A and B are shown apart, each in its own frame.
Chain A
Amino acid sequence: EAGVAQSPRYKIIEKRQSVAFWCNPISGHATLYWYQQILGQGPKLLIQFQNNGVVDDSQLPKDRFSAERLKGVDSTLKIQPAKLEDSAVYLCASTRGGGPAEQYFGPGTRLTVT
């Protein structure tokens, strides 16, 4: 089966600009996660979707970050306006559903804010 797809792979923007990332999870996976991974650290959860509903967005900086999963399949994560500290890799992951299910990651989008 195809893996988690993400685009773009790389993005360079100036601070205060906006940027959007796209993710298409593994077919049939109901749960989708967005993570932020700063260099040298583990992934940090930003938002979790179950189908098209938000399960947890407690660590999403809602003044500048937004995410949606309108049809319960693919998802977009947006940053507006970007700050220097948003430079990181943004990872998308999916699982089949609840319970102790395997989580699979996409290749990530490396964002550099200058």
Chain B
Amino acid sequence: GENVEQHPSTLSVQEGDSAVIKCTYSDSASNYFPWYKQELGKGPQLIIDIRSNVGEKKDQRIAVTLNKTAKHFSLHITETQPEDSAVYFCAAKTFPGNQFYFGTGTSLTVIP
């Protein structure tokens, strides 16, 4: 089955700096890669996603890049703000099974 690894497990940045979280996956048939933000006591919230036929996607301060050859994808947050502090999860969706496999999470702290 699919195996998703995520690094780093914790990340602290100064407000205004950039944050980068990296994930790798094992199943070359996986075709969809979402990123979720989870705040304490809440369910994961989809913040950005990328399909396997796209190399990069940007939404305001958030961007995701995908390297299918190397089977890794990354989340980039620019101009970080204290409200960006949360746990972030990457995931890979298998094809054709449509199951989602999650990374182990990155706890991001933005220091004011």
Q: Find out whether the CB atom of A40 lies under 8 angstroms from the CB atom of B105.
A: yes
Contact A43 B89 (CB under 8 A): yes
Shortest Cβ distance from residue B57 to the other chain A in the assembled complex, whole angstroms = 12
Evaluate contact between A91 and B43: CB separation under 8 angstroms: yes
A25, CB-defined interface residue at 8 Å: no
Could you tell me if A42 and B105 are in contact, using CB atoms closer than 8 angstroms?
yes
User: Contact string, B39-53, partner A, CB cutoff 8 A, digits 1/0?
Assistant: 001111110010110
Contact for A98 among B36, B45, B98, B105, CB less than 8 A: B98
Instruction: Judge whether A107 and B43 touch: CB under 8 Å.
Output: yes
**What interface size band does chain B fall in?**
20 to 34
Q: Total number of A-B contacts with CB less than 8 angstroms?
A: 62
Q: What's the nearest-Cβ distance from chain B to residue A5, in Å?
A: 11
Inter-chain contact A41/B100, CB cutoff 8 Å = no
Shortest beta-carbon distance from A68 to chain B in Å: 19
Q: How far is the CA of A72 from the CA of B6 in the complex (A)?
A: 34
Known: A48-B98, A102-B34. A41 touches B43 (CB 8 A): no
Chain A residues packing against B (C-beta within 8 Å): 4, 31, 33, 40-45, 48, 55-56, 91, 93, 95, 98-108
5 smallest CB-CB distances across A and B, nearest first, come from: A42-B102, A100-B32, A105-B43, A105-B44, A107-B43
Give 19 new A-B contacts, CB below 8 A, not counting A42-B6, A98-B96, A100-B93. A33-B100, A40-B105, A42-B89, A42-B91, A42-B103, A44-B102, A45-B99, A45-B100, A56-B99, A98-B98, A100-B51, A101-B32, A102-B34, A102-B46, A103-B34, A103-B46, A105-B43, A105-B44, A108-B43
Q: List 21 A-B contacts (CB under 8 A).
A: A4-B43, A42-B4, A42-B103, A42-B105, A43-B44, A43-B89, A43-B100, A44-B102, A45-B99, A98-B98, A99-B32, A101-B32, A102-B46, A102-B49, A103-B34, A103-B46, A103-B100, A105-B36, A105-B43, A107-B41, A108-B43
| Residues of B in contact with A (beta carbons under 8 Å apart) | 4, 6, 31-32, 34, 36, 41-46, 49, 51-52, 89, 91, 93, 96-105
